[in-house]
A and B are shown apart, each in its own frame.
Chain A
Amino acid sequence: MEEKIIKQISLFAENKPGRLANIAENFRKADINIRAFTIAEAGDFGIIRMVVDKPDVAHEVLHDAGFTVSETSVLGVEMQDIPGGLGKIADVLGEKSINIDYAYAFVTKTEKALLILRVNDIEGAIKTLNVTGVKLIDMADIQAI
């Protein structure tokens, strides 16, 4: 089950110019590739969430650069690019009372859509999604994108 957990990098950032450039520059130097990226903003601050190919290195690099940063366990779900794909996932999790804290999606080069999910019960979610035949991706898949 462990291998299906994806380490997402979460980072606290003030809403001010230059913060993103600073992160990008640190990643460029450390040769880190961003696979998925989203900013949730709330007024004066924002939380930047990223899935990268080398999360441990990314965490270290950002921490050393003075950022408040954490690694968060999330799930990566491969979605069929057909109507109702997202609804199915939300339905099965809802049936088991598993709450989605947040989610964001991205499309890969292979024309598949990937959904990143943070849930309140990650192991329960993995079990449930496995049973229903949903494909969960792992860190190796992330690196291979």
Chain B
Amino acid sequence: MIEYWNPLVERMPVDELDKMQEKRLKSLVNYVYQHSDFYKKKFDDANVKPEDIQSLDDLKKLPFTYKSDLRDTYPTGMFCVPNEQLVRFHASSGTTGKHTVVGYTRNDIDQWATSLARALTSLGIGRGDVIQISYGYGLFTGGLGLHYGAEEVGCTVLPTSSGNTEKQLNLMQDLNSSVIACTPSYFLFMNEVANQSGISIEHDTQLRVGIFGAEPWSEEMRTRIEEATGIKAYDVYGTSELSGPLCTECQHQDGIHIWADQFLIEVINPETGEQLAEGERGELVITTLAKEALPLIRYRIGDITVINKQPCECGRTHPRIMRVLGRADDMLIVRGINVFPGQVESVLMNIPEVGEHFMIVVDRVNELDIMKVQIEMTDEAFSDKINDIMSLEKKVASALKNVLNLAVKVELVENGTIPRSMGKAKKVIDNRKL
């Protein structure tokens, strides 16, 4: 098994990586200024010329790009190449508004596959592995994105896409899938269905690795998945605007390696836009250094994270982002307190009596926000004494209050009534008319 896909790049000394980034940043600003009316106007409005950008430090002079820019220029107004140079379109799932379109040149597709080839190699995945891709194929980037990366490293791809869980489990057993890629909530659902049919993923399948993403998930959920199914669970990061799923953790499970030759990352204070120091928690901002069709300059991706620039034990020198707690978009403000669904998940995963499915429901009653967390009663936790059930509700409510600093009403609901999802799980119902 090979250790690195591009050893020279992945282990490049940090100062050389910086030089490479600087060079690529300078040519990028010239490229977008010349090829995109959108960026030319954006730079002109901000009073910045390409020649003002001489070092990585000058990055902060550049204006931000937002998701709304992609929407406003729908469908292809930000593209830097004519349409005939595109080999593919994808469109975002539109979870946060009107959909957005991303185009790819041949080189963009290759870069994307390379990024994932490095990532898969870092997880010990390659020739001889059967990878079951249960992310949706189609306009969503999850399926096809991983597909190309997996083929690049020589895996055998089983493109099941999402849904039809019984069939997924049959194929997993019959074709000896060793790797699965899907949302963590779908994998848990799959495990539930497997158990109902008497199949143990740990003992009755060859599955050993899961690549999970497309929705925020917690360290505690990782523990639960690994314990329940005997596989190693890894986080994958990416969004459609940046191509799709791009980068993963390595086997050390200590942050996602973001390839510095392809992406320049910063963390900013979401309110002031100021850059934050390494190790400070803030909003992730990404500049694509190598994309041709749709380069993004200081793109406000909206995820809240921390950058770690220390070289990893695996020998890779590229910076890591620590587990994404949630998107700025997912953040709820309840009685003035910021709440991420990921925090709720972390708390619940630490309470063994509670199942992994939950729903946050926020209402406004008499001008006051009421946050309710619904969790499912499991067979194991069920006692037929009312007091036992009420004390479980109290236990969960007080654990949530400790973490969120917010009084939360906990409601136990019947098993199986919280909707399961084949893709991104919906975890919040906000009934407030704000």
Interface residue ranges, A against B (CB under 8 Å): 8, 10, 12-14, 40, 42, 44-45, 47, 49, 63, 66-70, 72, 101-102, 118
Contact = CB atoms under 8 A, between A and B. Distances in A.
Interface in B375-409: 377-379, 382-386, 389-390
A42 B379 CA distance: 19
A67 B415 contact: yes
Interface class of chain A by DSSP: strand
A42 B386 contact: yes
The 7 closest A-B pairs by CB, nearest first: A10-B384, A68-B377, A68-B415, A12-B377, A66-B416, A68-B382, A42-B386
Contacts of B378: 68
A12 B382 contact: yes
Interface class of chain B by DSSP: loop
B415 to A, nearest CB: 5
B148 to A, nearest CB: 40
18 contacts: A10-B384, A12-B377, A12-B389, A13-B414, A14-B413, A14-B414, A42-B386, A42-B390, A44-B411, A45-B389, A45-B411, A45-B412, A47-B385, A63-B379, A67-B415, A68-B379, A70-B382, A118-B385
A105 B377 CA distance: 28
A72 B385 CA distance: 10
Contacts of B107: none
Interface of B: 377-379, 382-386, 389-390, 411-417
B415 A101 contact: no
Interface centre among B377, B378, B414 (most CB of A within 10 A): B414
A47 B386 contact: yes
A101 B386 CA distance: 10
A40 B389 CA distance: 12
Contact of A70 (B379, B390, B417): B379
A86 to B, nearest CB: 21
Contacts of A14: 413-414, 417
Contacts of B414: 12-14, 66-68
Interface centre among B384, B389, B390, B417 (most CB of A within 10 A): B384
A31 to B, nearest CB: 24
A92 to B, nearest CB: 23
A68 B194 CA distance: 19
Contacts of B384: 8, 10, 47, 49, 70, 72, 118
Nearest to A46: B386
Nearest to B417: A14
A20 to B, nearest CB: 13
Contacts of B382: 10, 12, 68-70
A40 B417 CA distance: 21
A12 B414 CA distance: 7
Given A45-B412, A118-B384, 16 more contacts: A8-B384, A12-B389, A12-B415, A13-B414, A14-B413, A14-B417, A40-B386, A42-B386, A42-B390, A45-B413, A47-B384, A47-B389, A66-B416, A67-B414, A69-B382, A101-B385
B417 A102 contact: no
A42 B415 contact: no
A12 B385 contact: no
Nearest to A71: B384
A14 B413 CA distance: 6
Nearest to B384: A10
B412 A12 contact: yes
Contacts of B385: 47, 101-102, 118
A122 B384 CA distance: 15
Contacts of A45: 377, 389, 411-413
Contacts of B417: 14
A72 B414 CA distance: 19
A73 B117 CA distance: 58
A101 to B, nearest CB: 6
Contacts of A10: 382, 384
Contacts of A49: 384
Contacts of A13: 414
Contacts of B411: 44-45
Contacts of B390: 42
A42 B384 CA distance: 12
A42 to B, nearest CB: 5
Contact of B415 (A8, A66, A102, A118): A66
